[in-house]
Amino acid sequence: MQKFEIVGGNRLCGCVKLKGAKNSVLPLLSASLLTEDEVTICECPNILDVENMLKILKELGVKVERDGDKIKTSGKILNTEIPDSLAREMRSSIFLIGSMLGKAGKARTAYPGGCAIGRRPIDLHIKGLKELGVSVTESTTHIDCKTPKSKNENGNVCTSKLHGADIYFEKVSVGATENLILASVLANGRTILRNVAREPEICDLVRMLNAMGAQIKVVGSSILEITGVESLHGIVYTPIPDRIVAGTLMVAVAMCGGEVQILNCEANHLKAITTKLANSSCNITTRYGITLIESNGAPAFMRALATAPYPGFPTDMQAQFVTMMSIANGTSLVSEKVFENRFGYVEELKKLGADIEIVHDIAVVKGNSKLKGATVKATDLRGGSALVLAGLKAEGTTYVEDIFHIDRGYESFEIMLSELGANIKRI
């Protein structure tokens, strides 16, 4: 098994160019199924989740080509069953249901996997799909979805398209919002989605679909109105940059000290992160898509921090901030309000010397910890990246094992950091 070897204590200096956001590229690849024309998505990161998604698309019969950072898809869906092994590898396989139903009329998948960060039920997905006319059969292991059956003018039974509906999400859900958008764009009539998620990645999906010929209108801040169309066409599209990779790099600088320029950075997507860092002894400036972060490596504590759906503080940055707070100059309270099991990495972080107590959904982080190298295991994607950040600050040598979790969302993380001056390598 591969692991990272990190010798801590180096400042970080240099520049990094962001690629497309993982959480955008995955649903955009799902959206490519809605047309048989060629779809090209640029600036795609070479990460494990994207590779697994491409494997799924190939299994569905779609032609897939990768040329560096560009991914091209084309062709018809020939198989409507997602392989179990791939579905259980990644949560994002659930997005494919909406596209497969919209284009092929049926879909079968095992319950999706991903990081062990708590329950992520798909009841909102299923409820919404049923309102669009989908027949859903659930077993203990699989979900089977089919569009309605009808008779054509010759009296033969055929698959009908989905129909529009007025759907209210009882809880804000990024995945359910994306899935219902994908299922609705080719449906008959008008669909209204209420209380939708507002993440930048949702907006990115809407922009690409509209550029492909969909008719999606944003009404207010949390309502989407979708008028079904007969077909979509191909496109060349560049997704938004990855705000979580940007935020992770910023926390690394805040902890280690130094000056780093982040190129291709969308500052408006990072407000919840940069506002907190600016209050924690960091100087952050943005001009012409370039964000400069400067730090002396001595972050200030935060009395209280709570995760929330966008535009609130992202749950995907919670672990990195808890790690930073472990070396800050006071006690911080960090509340996890999105997933109930997202503190799994804390026991590993404590092996490096962090002083953290978990009380229900709150991490009580007592700062001024002197982190020291040890051998730890990544338990999930973002928790794994947080352990790397701790290793960059710790005295001595840190080994981070099970880094396949980190490879799901960070392209060549060790190369990115070593080019900034960190002493880290993959062994």
Cβ neighbours for 289, distance < 8 A, ≥ 6 positions apart = 263, 264, 265, 266
Q: Residue 374, exposed/middle/buried by CB under 10 A (0-12, 13-18, 19+)?
A: buried
**DSSP reduced 3-state for 4:** strand
Choosing from 13, 42, 115, 282, the catalytic residue is 115
- DSSP per-residue letters across 340-362: TTTTTTHHHHHHTT-EEEEETTE
Residues found in the chain: 427
How far out from the chain centre does Cα 60 lie? 23
Report the interhelical angle of 123-131 vs 96-104 (nearest 10°). 20
User: Is 115 one of the annotated active-site residues of the chain?
Assistant: yes
**Max intra-chain CA distance, the chain:** 77
Q: Do residues 193 and 167 touch, judged by C-beta distance below 8 A?
A: yes
Question: What ranges make up the beta strands (E) of 207-249?
Answer: 215-219, 223-227, 235-237
Pair of tokens at residue 95: 């997005």
Q: Is 216 left (phi over 0), alpha (psi -120 to 50) or beta?
A: beta
Pair of tokens at residue 13: 């200096």
For residue 237, count other CB atoms closer than 10 A to its CB. Answer: 21
Pair of tokens at residue 45: 């990161």
For residue 114, count other CB atoms closer than 10 A to its CB. Answer: 17
Measured CA to CA, the distance from residue 421 to residue 392 in angstroms comes to 10
Measured CA to CA, the distance from residue 179 to residue 322 in angstroms comes to 31
Task: Give catalytic residues, as residue numbers.
Answer: 115
